[in-house]
Structure 1
């Protein structure tokens, strides 16, 4: 690490004054942008006009962090603790955090006719997970147009459906709020029991779950589907993500239905169609969305562990979901398969996967797992709570799912602070933070191989 040098610091200051550019790695700039948005949201939520009662600075900070990282964990109930102004601030932070401040920055620069600097291009490449600068503009506009179109259609559907029981303005307001929250995979709700009152409502459940899936599969996948429109012409990555999403959702759906069908606290008291809708919603929302239509504190431990696994995997790359991502999980499965059956290459859909991609996937899982383990260890020191509940809250925060076993509001201040760190890290991506602390350099030195015993 560079020791502090007054001359170097003075030169850096003069360069910033002269060029207006700060030489920082793109991940650091990206993290700083999210942090600034969180701090702005904290100040807005802390205003007296934002609450129906007193809101502490830490409560405002926690809620702003949860919103910007599109998590949905809460320590106050937005439905009863926030005023309409506070709720609008909250959902605006969700929209900005979900689509990413870089998307809006790029679109603004293009609209104003400004050319992007190399620093801004590097930042956008990291944010959009792209390797070609030529794809940045197309991706930015794709993110914006696709999001607005999907959210608008779903908001109209929910408004018309909820209008049966609510005044039109109330129905439309709540529809827009939940549409933005669902598409951005943030589990905030203006109903105190989340979506429990819609447990057997097919229109609400299918609309919300569709938004979660569309927001979670990733914008490159949506763009490829929109351009190709035929399965045979889709990119291999798109096919893998679609098949992986379908498989995970169906496995979760069937497993939760079978495990909980006789549980009176969850699915047991529902009709057969109601059980199907509840199991489907719980499976889909576990993929980093956070809405609930059943009391998850009453789930069997087996179902809880299954949901933890689904949260850990998450959604697709360049999406509003987090977790280690479906692509990472599938690449590692393919790598294990190749090793067990003595294949020379890791292959998916007749396409070989590069060793760099396998290494990145492995590193991501190990870093995320280490963060989860360390956080659980700390929280077991801070709290006297069931271990599975602590594990659930930690993975929910790290994967930015936002689902809770009613533990987060009752945690101590150190544990709640730890969850804010996990939400922030989970949204940016553990590897992004690792790369921001270490510059990657290729060494020209080659070392002789040595045999290491593993397994």
Structure 2
């Protein structure tokens, strides 16, 4: 009897879920080792599990300060989990297979298709090669910029280490940092080099590898796909609108933008608009933001990044479809048209399903945490959406979570990274094709 038969019978979504679970478990065991932290004692399993899940799911919520609690070994483990989690374990496995010139089977291509959120297996191996190349180049260039900038603030060796580590964290939209005491990038709110390099990494990792590939080939093809146009336009719109809203709401807040000059206000507003796209880094104190701003950031975190990227959330394309559906309904049109292309009904159903599942999941988790955690509602909702969108921004609740709260947030990060629809496919019964259709019924809506 073949011991691998059961594994091979698993559907691609189930293998995807199982693979991430195994990586988190391995990471947890490594972070539990005394060599991983500065106390020299084994880390509690629940804290190791939370940290490993946060890193693998590229979230950035932390119960232990990464820069002061973990040793270099522990930090390297976290960075490795971020890289594997951001690019996907199947992408890394494909890299190993390509290095050893091993043939990629159809089964493995189907799993890669699920991991990269593609509609077909055609060209999937070429896309994986591009993913690895783009990641290496972008992280390498930005790590160099970070290292040069931080060499003025710290020893060169440490600056290089910080540059590489934070380039990995930012590109994969993880939000982990090594500056200690949960400060993130608040010490660099005025620094254009750090701000724009970090924002470039966040946006590059968040728009998706398909979009990067499309942009790289634009000179040869002289056109962009509908997917790329929607992603770029929606990303730009969310960043611009987000910057304006944060600028207006926080302009007179003495704890955030109010104490900064015009340059700091503009940089601070822009960075805080970019980072909810599942990045998790911040240059302003999130807990000091006004409630209106915090609630607006919750909306941005729920939308998240784009398909096939290192980020989470319901995705920009899903939000674009919902907006398009609203406008079509208001104008009395039957079809949803974006950039002169009509969208199929199946796409609209999928967007509605993802959004509703996401909302129901967030509501359920928020209700549970409201019962287990003694904090005000907005802080709990903020933490929940941050975990679901794999963002990593926090109002300060994470270190105070109860054991139950840590488990709930861990599961939320896991579900957010995989996506509610993938998780539903993995946990649900095997799909079968319906052999008949029911008669059409009529009901009143609205």
Q: 1:42 aligns with which of 28, 33, 42?
A: 28
User: Tell me, what secondary structure is at the counterpart of 1:403?
Assistant: coil
| 1:135 has 2:123 as partner | yes
Q: 2:438 aligns with which of 447, 450, 453?
A: 447
**Match in the other structure for 2:429:** 438
Q: Structure 1 CA distance, aligned partners of 2:419 and 2:55?
A: 16
User: How far does the alpha carbon of each residue in 1:394-443 deviate from its partner, in whole angstroms, 9 at most, with x for none?
Assistant: 00000000110001110111111100000000000100011121322221
| 1:258 has 2:248 as partner | yes
Cα displacement (A) at 1:232 = 6.0
Q: Structure 2 CA distance, aligned partners of 1:22 and 1:249?
A: 43
**Match in the other structure for 1:205:** 195
User: Under a length normalisation based on structure 1, what TM-score does the superposition of the two structures give?
Assistant: 0.95
**Match in the other structure for 2:321:** 331
Does the Cα contact within 8 Å between 2:58 and 2:310 map onto a contact in 1? yes
| 1:187 has 2:178 as partner | no
Q: Structure 2 CA distance, aligned partners of 1:91 and 1:56?
A: 20
Cα displacement (A) at 1:52 = 0.1
User: How far does the alpha carbon of each residue in 1:296-325 deviate from its partner, in whole angstroms, 9 at most, with x for none?
Assistant: 111111101110000000011000111000
| 1:103 has 2:91 as partner | yes
Q: 2:16 aligns with which of 7, 27, 30?
A: 30
Cα displacement (A) at 1:21 = 5.1
User: How far does the alpha carbon of each residue in 1:263-300 deviate from its partner, in whole angstroms, 9 at most, with x for none?
Assistant: 00111111110111111111101111011111111111
Does the Cα contact within 8 Å between 2:118 and 2:308 map onto a contact in 1? no
Q: Which runs of 4+ in 1 moved over 4 A?
A: none
Q: Structure 2 CA distance, aligned partners of 1:250 and 1:131?
A: 30
| 1:270 has 2:263 as partner | no
Query: 1:308-347 residue pairs with structure 2 within 5 A?
Result: 308-347=298-337
User: Under a length normalisation based on structure 2, what TM-score does the superposition of the two structures give?
Assistant: 0.97
User: Tell me, what secondary structure is at the counterpart of 1:379?
Assistant: helix
**Unaligned ranges ≥5, structure 2:** none
Does the Cα contact within 8 Å between 1:73 and 1:404 map onto a contact in 2? yes
**Match in the other structure for 1:298:** 288
Q: Structure 2 CA distance, aligned partners of 1:386 and 1:315?
A: 28
User: How far does the alpha carbon of each residue in 1:65-110 deviate from its partner, in whole angstroms, 9 at most, with x for none?
Assistant: 0000000000000111000111111111100100011111123223
Cα displacement (A) at 1:229 = 3.6
Does the Cα contact within 8 Å between 2:46 and 2:406 map onto a contact in 1? no
Does the Cα contact within 8 Å between 1:73 and 1:402 map onto a contact in 2? yes
Q: Structure 1 CA distance, aligned partners of 2:101 and 2:68?
A: 44
Q: 2:224 aligns with which of 229, 234, 237?
A: 234
User: Tell me, what secondary structure is at the counterpart of 2:245?
Assistant: helix
User: How far does the alpha carbon of each residue in 1:339-371 deviate from its partner, in whole angstroms, 9 at most, with x for none?
Assistant: 221212111000011111100000000000000
Q: Structure 2 CA distance, aligned partners of 1:209 and 1:21?
A: 40
User: How far does the alpha carbon of each residue in 1:201-240 deviate from its partner, in whole angstroms, 9 at most, with x for none?
Assistant: 1100110011000000000001000001489611121111
Does the Cα contact within 8 Å between 1:154 and 1:207 map onto a contact in 2? yes
Query: 1:152-191 residue pairs with structure 2 within 5 A?
Result: 152-191=140-179
| 1:382 has 2:372 as partner | yes
Q: CA RMSD in A?
A: 1.4
Q: Structure 1 CA distance, aligned partners of 2:238 and 2:100?
A: 42
Q: How many residues align?
A: 441
